[in-house]
Amino acid sequence: MATSSHQLLLLADHLKLSLLERQRAVSLNLDSHKQDGQIERSLSQLHDGLEQLEAQQRDLGAAEDDSSDLSRLRKQYSQLYAQFHGSAPPPVEASSPNDPALAGDFAAAKSRPNRTRSNRNVRFRDDPDDDDDDAEAQANRAALFADQERYRDEPEAPNHTDMDNQQIHAFHKQVLREQDEQLDTLGQSIGRQRMLGIQMGNELDEQVELLDDVERGVDRHSNQLYGAQKRLTTFSRKAKDNWNWITITILVIILVLVIVVLK
């Protein structure tokens, strides 16, 4: 099947969105390598499409213009390849769509949600029929991967050269939704860790209070022992001072008794 420049421009837009979502995941500390295999395959598809388009132009004998779609695609492929492999910073062209209809998707992929969002609605609902967004996402995913085989660790990605604007929009909307869900999960994990930290802090405060009580009890008993020691020292000193008088008194009594007996 002949490859058209319009299909390749849409594929280039798809790659730009994937790389923007990858940058977004890095800035949010999420898993940024989840789509690397798919991006690699899309780059290969774009490269193969460029070769087919060049062959078509050679067969037609058409002269190439610097402003032609083929020149734009070559330039964008080089920029996207360099951006993905980290050999060059992302150029301005890599963050703007070829098709203006995808401008909203590019803006969403470049957005950075607030990490400290509060009072967010939980995505789980008692009535799943009310969740139109989830139903739409499931329908979009089913449409995109209807021809997918059984589950594999590294499933084959669909041929993105055949995707139209609506399919690209649905695909990247689902990617952004998954990133938001990962961010919500990360926020909940941080919240649980914070609660555990508060509980540990409260337990440490209780342990400190118990140690303070033990310390006060030790101080009280130390004071009692110190008072008893002082009393024993005082009694010992007084007994030592009065020992001579006691000895004299005993000798006098013995002397009196001897005199009485001798008389």
Q: What is the pLDDT of residues 106-127, one digit of tens each?
A: 776 666 665 444 444 434 444 4
pTM for this model (two decimals): 0.43
Provide the 8-state DSSP code for 33.
Answer: T
Q: Where are the domains of the chain?
A: 5-113+123-149+156-185
Give one DSSP letter per residue of 190-247, joined into a string: HHHHHHHHHHHHHHHHHHHHHHHHHHHHHHHHHHHHHHHHHHHHHHHHHHHHHHHHHH
Summarised one tens digit per residue, pLDDT across range 188-244 is 888 888 898 899 999 999 999 999 999 999 999 999 999 999 999 888 888 777 887
Residue scoring higher pLDDT (120 or 183): 183
CA distance 230 to 141: 88
